Amino acid sequence: MPVAPARACPRSGCPQLQPCPDHAKGETHAEVSTARPWSRLYDTQRWKRLSAKVRQLETTCRACYVEGRPPKPSRHVDHIVPHRGDLARFYDRTNVQALCAECHSAKTRREQRT
């Protein structure tokens, strides 16, 4: 029987693939994250407003553009420098960028290795 390709978790800010063990039952980041206690920040209205504004202003992937590839539609808002719970860095507009799913996943994988 054919297997469907893995897709990203639909929860904003979650780098997991489906089925995401954290959000399979609809839990929020705050309920499931002990390793990353700052994950609750992605559920705040302030973040939702900021990420919506970034996606509105940057409709195509910044990384694709910078690397000279045909830009894809942006789907994720990414922190350029990981915030690790630093509120000033988390909400800093100059520290976020819009990326396509492919570039966001690749960047997240690179950051998790370090």
Mean pLDDT of 80-93: 92
- How does DSSP classify residue 36? -
The domain locations on the chain are: 44-113
Q: Specify the residue for token string 């000279």.
A: 68
Considering the entire predicted model, what is its pTM?
0.66
pLDDT on residue 29: 46
Residue 61: exposure state from Cβ atoms within 10 A (0-12, 13-18, ≥19): buried
Residue with tokens 């539609």: 73
87-101: string of b/e by CB count within 10 Å (b at 16+)? eebbbeeebbbbbbe
Which pLDDT score, from 0 to 100, does residue 68 have? 96
Contact 43, 28 (CB under 8 A): yes
Q: Is pLDDT at 103 greater than 60 in this prediction?
A: yes
Q: What is the pLDDT of residue 60?
A: 96
pLDDT in tens, 43-59: 999 999 999 999 999 99
Q: Considering only CA atoms, give the Rg of the chain.
A: 14
Whole-number Å distance between alpha carbons of 52 and 71:
19
